[in-house]
C-alpha cells in the first residue's frame, strides 16, 4: 500500500492526516492513541498506515497509558508518538514530565479544543501556557511548534521527531481544530533527517553490544542529584533557545503597529493585515513559529522602532504575557483575544487596529 | 481572483464531498485553495456545511465570513446563510427541497432543481453533483472536466455505474444554466 503514497507530489490532505503521514515518513515505529475530537482523523489514519508499514499501532485504554507506552518505546531507542486534544493532553502531562526528566525523546500533538474542563470541540489556542511552560510538574520545557498551515504540520512533524532525538527531549505541535480539520494542498516531501542526529546507542536499553548496565529513571533521591539534573537540563534548554527559535516577520519594516499571532490566528491576522493595508493602515505581522523557545529577542529588537503591538490569539492573554516580557516595556502591548471556540474575525481585528492607533500613551486596548 | 464559497445542506447530502471536490479540482488547476468543514457532533439528517476558498494567490485566512458564493441544498441552510452572502454574490439553491424565493435583491440567484434532475439520472443522491455542475458552468471557477477527474480521485473505488451517474448529474447541472 505504501507505494500509493505519492511522495514528492502535491496532494490535498487534512491537517490531521498530514501529521500522520509525516510521522510515518519520519520513521515513527509506534503510535499510541486514544480517540478525541478534533484530532480523531490522526489516530484513524495511523491505525491504517502503521499496519500497512508493519509497525505498531495501539489504541490504548487511556491517554495516560498511551504516553507511558511512548516512554517504554523511547527507552529502547525507537521513535514513537501520541496525539490527543486538550483534556487528553492534560492527562499525558505526568508521562511527559517523566520523559523530560529521564531525557527521553517523544513527539506528540495537541489539536487544541475549547477549555478549560472537558470544554467543547471547537478550535482554540488556550493550551499555550501548558505548551510553553513545560505542562506538567517540575522544572522542564518541551520544544513546541505552532504551525499555521497543512504544509507546516507535515514539515514540523518531521522536524519534531528529529529535534526530540537530537536533544533527547519531548517535542510537540500545538495545532487547533481548524488546522486539524482543514484540507489544503501540500507537497509530501521525502524525509531527510537533520545532519547532526546523534546515535542512541550509548544510552538506549536492550542493546546487547552495550557493555555496561544502563539506568533510565526520573527518580533522583541522592543529595543534590535532582538539582544537578535540572541544571544539566537547563544547559540543554539554553542551547535549544539559541539554535531552534523560529519566527516570521511580514511587512514590519514600515509598520506603525505590528500584530503578533501564531497558528490559525496568524492566518486571520494576515488577511486582516492585507485588508487594513488597502485602507492605508501600516500594519505588520510577527509570527512565532516555535512558541517554546519563544522569539523574545527579535520581538525585543522590533520594539525599538514599533511602539504598538496587538496580540491576536484564541485565548485570553496567554501569549500576551510573552510579548510583554519580550518587549521589556519598550512598546505597548494590546490584546485581541477570543476563547472557548470563538475565532477572531477580520472586521473585529481591523476595528481594534484602529483603536490602537488612536490610543493615548499608557492606554492598553483590549477587546473584552 | 479569490472566490469564497460555502456549501450547506443536511448531513447525508454529500456537502463535505462538494467542498472536497472543489478544493481538489482547484489544486489540479494549480490554484490556491483551502477547505474547512463544520465538524463535530454532526449526524445524518442534521445540518452540515463547509467553506472552500479558491484563489489565484496565496490564501491567508481559511475562514469564510462573507461568502461570494453559497451552494444551498436545503431550506434551513438558506435561512441560515442567505444574509451572509456578499452583495453582488451568488446564491445557488436546491428548488427540489426549498419552496420559497430568495428575499435578497442584491445578489444573483440561480435555481437548481437538484434532486429532481438527479432522480432522472438515476439517484437523488447525486443532487450535490447537479449543483456542482451548475456552479462550475455558471461561474467558470473550475473546469467541469477537472471536477469530473477529481470525482474519480475522491470517489475512488465506487463502481462504474455510480461514477457515470455522478458525471451525468454534473453534466445535467451544467446544461441547466447554459
Domains of chain B, first to last:
2-177 (3.40.920.10)
Q: Which residues are registered as beta bridge partners of A266? A: none
Domain boundary among A199, A217, A244: A244
Rg (CA), chain B: 15
| pLDDT given for residue B157 in this prediction | 82
B122 forms bridges with which residues in the sheet? none
CATH number, domain with residue A331: 3.40.50.920
Residues A255, A282 contacting (CB under 8 angstroms):
yes
Nearest chain B Cα to A120, which residue?
B40
Closest in A122, A185, A264 to B27, CB measured: A185
Cβ–Cβ pairs < 8 A, chains A and B: 60
Mean pLDDT of chain B: 95
B35 vs A183, A343, A345: nearest CB: A183
Determine whether the interchain pair B63/A182 forms a contact, defined as Cβ–Cβ distance below 8 Å: no
C-alpha to C-alpha distance for A325 and A279, rounded to whole angstroms: 31
pLDDT-derived band at B41 (thresholds 50, 70, 90) equals low
Question: Do both A208 and A272 map to the same domain?
Answer: no
Mean pLDDT of chain A: 96
pLDDT in tens, B124-145: 999 999 999 999 999 999 999 9
How many other C-beta atoms are found inside a 10 Å radius of the C-beta of residue A284? 21
Q: How far is CA A48 from the centre of its chain?
A: 25
Whether residue A271 and residue B35 make contact (CB cut-off 8 A), yes or no, is no
Mean pLDDT of A20-49: 97
Mean pLDDT of A10-33: 98
A252 in the same domain as A240: no
Residues 6+ apart with CB under 8 A from A191: A22, A25, A26, A27, A158
**What band does A12 get if pLDDT is binned at 50, 70 and 90?**
very high
* Residues A158, A193: Cα–Cα separation, whole Å: 8
What is the enclosing helix (H) or strand (E) of B72? strand B69-72
Interface check B4 vs A, CB under 8 A: no
Chain A residues touching residue B65 (CB < 8 angstroms): 345-347
- Do A165 and A254 share a domain, yes or no? no
- With CA atoms as reference, the chain B residue closest to A179 would be B36
**Of the residues A244, A271, A290, which one is the last residue of a structural domain?**
A244
User: What are the residues whose beta carbons fall under 8 Å from the beta carbon of B159, sequence distance 6 or more?
Assistant: none
Q: DSSP letters of A12-72? A: EEEHHHHHHHHHHHTT--EEEE---TTSHHHHHHHHHHHHHTT-EEEE-SSHHHHHHHHHH
B61 CB within 8 Å of a chain A CB = yes
Angle between helices B160-177 and B127-139 (to 10 degrees): 40
In this predicted structure, the answer to whether residue A357 has a pLDDT above a threshold of 50 is yes
- A212 and A293 belong to one structural domain: no
The predicted structure's pLDDT at residue A214:
85
- Domain-embedded: residue A368: no
**With 60 as the cut, is the pLDDT of residue A148 above it?**
yes
Residue A102 lies in a domain: yes
Write the CATH number for A161: 3.40.50.970
Q: Assign A207 a pLDDT band (cuts: 50, 70, 90).
A: confident
Q: Is residue A331 part of a domain?
A: yes
Q: Which of B33, B40, B63 sits opposite A185 (nearest CB)?
A: B33
In B18-57, the residues whose Cβ lies within 8 Å of chain A are: 20, 23-24, 27, 32-37, 39-41
Q: How far is B124 from chain A (nearest CA, A)?
A: 27
Please indicate, yes or no, if residue A367 is contained in any of the structural domains. no
pLDDT bucket at B146, cuts 50 / 70 / 90: very high
Cross-strand partners of A286: A249, A260
What is the Cα–Cα distance from A129 to B132, expressed in whole angstroms?
44
Helix count and strand count (H, E) for chain A: 12, 14
Contact between B91 and B110 (Cβ < 8 Å): yes
Q: Is residue A366 part of a domain?
A: no
Q: Is the pLDDT of residue B44 over 80?
A: no
pLDDT at A276 over 90: yes
Residues A44, A97: one domain? yes
Distance from CA of B62 to the nearest CA of A (A): 8
Reference A82, options A137, A136, A34; nearest CA is A34
Cβ-contact B82, B104 below 8 angstroms:
yes
Confidence check: pLDDT of A2 > 50: no
Using a CB-CB distance cutoff of 8 angstroms, which residues of chain B are in contact with residue A274? 60
How would residue A209 be classed by pLDDT, with cut points 50, 70 and 90?
Answer: confident
* Residue A3 scores a pLDDT above 60: no
CA distance linking residue A66 with residue A107, whole number of Å: 12
- DSSP state at residue B123: -
Is there a single domain that holds both residue A320 and residue A285?
A: yes
* Residue A364 is assigned to a structural domain of this protein: no
Domain of residue A128: give its range. 2-244
Residue A210 has what pLDDT?
65
For chain B, how many residues are written? Answer: 178
Domain count, chain A: 2
Interface contact flag, B23 A183, Cβ < 8 Å: yes
Residue B16 has pLDDT above 80, yes or no: yes
Chain A partners of B27 at a C-beta cutoff of 8 Å?
10, 12, 185
* A315: number of Cβ within 10 Å: 21
List of E strands, A198-282 = 247-250, 257-260
Residues contacting B168, CB < 8 A, separation 6+ = B121, B122, B126
What mean pLDDT comes out for the span B168-175? 98
Same domain, A333 and A239: no
pTM: 0.96
Q: A197, A227, A244 — which closes off a domain? A: A244
Taking the C-alpha atoms of residue B132 and residue B155, their distance in angstroms, rounded to an integer, is 15
Nearest to A195 by CA among A165, A155, A172, A169: A165
Instruction: Please tell me whether residues A44 and A111 are part of one structural domain.
Output: yes
Give strand pairing partners of B83: none
Q: How confident is the model at residue B42 (pLDDT cuts 50, 70, 90)?
A: low
Q: Report pLDDT digits (tens) over A217-233.
A: 999 999 999 999 999 99
Same domain, A227 and A313: no
State residue B43's pLDDT score: 63
Helix (H) or strand (E) holding B47: strand B47-55
Q: Which of B23, B39, B41 sits opposite A181 (nearest CB)?
A: B39
In this model, does residue A255 exceed pLDDT 50?
yes
Residue A1 confidence (pLDDT): 39
Is the same domain home to A88 and A202? yes
Percent helix / strand / coil, chain B, rounded to 5: 45, 20, 35
Buried b (16+ CB within 10 A) or exposed e, B66-105: ebbbbbbbbbebbeebbeebeeebbbbbbebbbeeebeee
Per-residue pLDDT tens for B80-125? Answer: 999 999 999 999 999 999 999 999 999 999 999 999 999 999 999 9
Q: Could you tell me the sign of the dihedral formed by the alpha carbons of A50, A56, A61, A64, in that order? A: negative
Q: Where are the beta strands (DSSP E) in chain A?
A: 10-14, 30-33, 56-59, 80-84, 106-112, 143-145, 170-176, 183-187, 247-250, 257-260, 283-288, 290-292, 308-313, 332-337
The ipTM estimated for the assembled molecules is 0.94
pLDDT per residue over A100-116, tens digit each?
Answer: 999 999 999 999 999 99
Statement to judge: residues A36 and A150 lie in one domain: yes
Question: Of A324 and A3, which is predicted with more confidence?
Answer: A324
Domain match, A68 and A87 both: yes
Contact flag B63-A10 (C-beta cutoff 8 Å)? no
Three-class DSSP category at A319 = helix
Residue B44 exposed, middle or buried by CB count within 10 Å (0-12, 13-18, 19+)? exposed
For residue A15, being part of any structural domain is answered with yes
Residue A347 resides in a domain:
yes
* pLDDT at res. B11: 87
Does B24 sit within 8 Å of A267, measured CB to CB?
no
Q: Per-residue b/e over A45-79, b at no fewer than 16 CB within 10 Å?
A: bbeebbeebebbbbebeebbbbbbbbbebbbebbb
Question: Rounded to 5 degrees, what are φ and ψ at A30?
Answer: -150, 130
Decide if pLDDT at A178 tops 70.
yes
Amino acid at each position: 500500500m505504501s507505494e500509493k503514497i505519492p511522495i514528492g507530489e502535491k496532494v490535498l490532505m487534512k491537517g490531521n492526516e498530514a501529521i500522520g503521514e509525516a510521522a510515518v515518513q519520519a520513521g515513527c515505529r509506534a503510535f499510541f492513541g486514544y480517540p478525541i475530537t478534533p484530532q480523531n482523523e490522526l489516530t484513524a489514519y495511523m491505525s491504517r498506515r502503521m499496519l500497512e508499514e508493519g509497525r505498531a499501532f495501539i489504541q490504548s485504554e487511556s491517554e495516560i497509558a498511551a504516553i507511558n507506552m511512548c516512554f517504554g518505546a523511547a527507552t529502547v531507542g525507537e521513535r514513537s508518538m501520541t496525539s490527543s486534544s486538550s483534556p487528553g493532553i492534560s492527562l499525558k502531562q505526568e508521562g511527559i514530565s517523566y520523559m523530560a526528566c529521564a531525557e527521553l525523546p517523544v513527539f506528540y500533538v495537541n489539536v487544541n479544543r475549547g477549555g478549560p474542563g472537558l470544554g467543547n470541540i471547537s478550535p482554540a489556542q488556550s493550551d499555550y501556557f501548558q505548551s510553553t511552560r513545560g505542562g506538567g510538574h517540575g522544572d522542564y520545557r518541551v520544544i513546541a511548534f505552532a504551525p499555521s498551515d497543512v504544509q507546516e504540520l507535515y514539515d514540523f512533524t518531521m522536524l519534531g521527531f528529529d529535534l526530540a532525538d537530537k536533544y533527547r527531549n519531548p517535542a510537540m505541535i500545538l495545532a487547533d481544530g481548524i488546522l486539524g480539520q482543514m484540507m489544503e494542498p501540500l507537497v509530501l516531501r521525502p524525509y531527510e533527517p537533520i545532519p547532526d542526529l546523534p546515535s542512541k546507542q550509548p544510552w538506549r536499553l536492550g542493546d546487547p553490544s552495550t557493555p555496561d548496565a544502563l539506568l533510565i529513571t526520573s527518580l533522583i533521591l541522592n543529595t543534590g542529584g535532582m538539582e544537578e539534573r535540572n541544571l544539566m537540563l537547563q544547559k540543554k534548554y539554553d542551547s535549544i533557545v539559541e539554535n531552534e527559535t523560529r519566527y516570521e516577520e511580514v511587512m514590519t519594516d514600515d509598520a506603525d503597529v505590528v500584530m503578533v499571532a501564531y497558528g490559525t490566528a496568524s492566518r486571520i491576522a494576515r488577511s486582516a493585515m492585507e485588508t487594513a493595508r488597502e485602507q492605508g493602515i501600516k500594519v505588520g505581522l510577527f509570527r512565532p513559529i516555535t512558541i517554546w523557545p519563544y522569539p523574545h529577542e527579535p520581538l525585543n529588537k522590533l520594539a525599538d522602532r514599533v511602539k504598538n503591538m496587538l496580540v491576536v490569539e484564541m485565548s485570553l492573554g496567554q501569549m500576551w504575557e510573552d510579548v510583554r516580557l519580550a518587549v521589556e516595556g519598550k512598546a505597548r502591548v494590546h490584546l485581541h483575544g477570543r476563547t472557548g471556540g470563538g475565532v477572531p474575525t477580520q472586521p473585529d481585528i481591523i476595528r481594534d487596529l484602529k483603536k490602537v492607533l488612536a490610543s493615548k500613551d499608557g492606554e492598553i486596548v483590549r477587546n473584552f | 481572483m479569490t472566490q469564497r464559497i460555502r456549501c450547506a445542506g443536511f448531513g447525508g447530502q454529500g456537502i463535505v464531498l462538494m467542498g472536497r471536490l472543489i478544493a481538489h479540482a482547484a489544486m489540479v488547476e494549480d490554484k490556491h485553495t483551502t477547505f474547512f468543514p463544520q465538524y463535530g457532533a454532526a449526524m445524518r439528517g442534521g445540518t452540515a456545511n463547509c467553506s472552500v476558498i479558491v484563489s489565484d494567490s496565496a490564501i491567508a485566512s481559511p475562514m469564510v465570513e462573507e461568502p461570494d458564493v453559497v451552494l444551498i441544498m436545503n431550506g434551513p441552510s438558506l435561512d441560515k446563510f442567505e444574509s451572509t452572502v456578499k452583495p453582488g454574490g451568488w446564491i445557488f439553491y436546491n428548488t427540489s427541497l426549498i419552496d420559497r424565493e430568495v428575499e435578497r435583491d442584491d445578489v444573483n440567484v440561480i435555481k437548481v432543481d437538484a434532486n429532481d434532475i438527479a432522480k432522472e439520472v438515476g439517484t437523488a443522491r447525486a443532487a450535490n453533483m447537479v449543483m456542482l455542475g451548475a456552479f462550475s458552468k455558471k461561474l467558470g471557477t473550475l473546469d467541469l472536466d477537472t471536477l469530473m477527474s477529481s470525482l474519480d480521485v475522491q470517489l475512488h473505488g465506487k463502481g462504474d455505474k455510480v461514477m457515470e451517474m455522478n458525471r451525468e448529474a454534473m453534466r445535467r447541472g451544467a446544461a441547466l444554466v447554459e
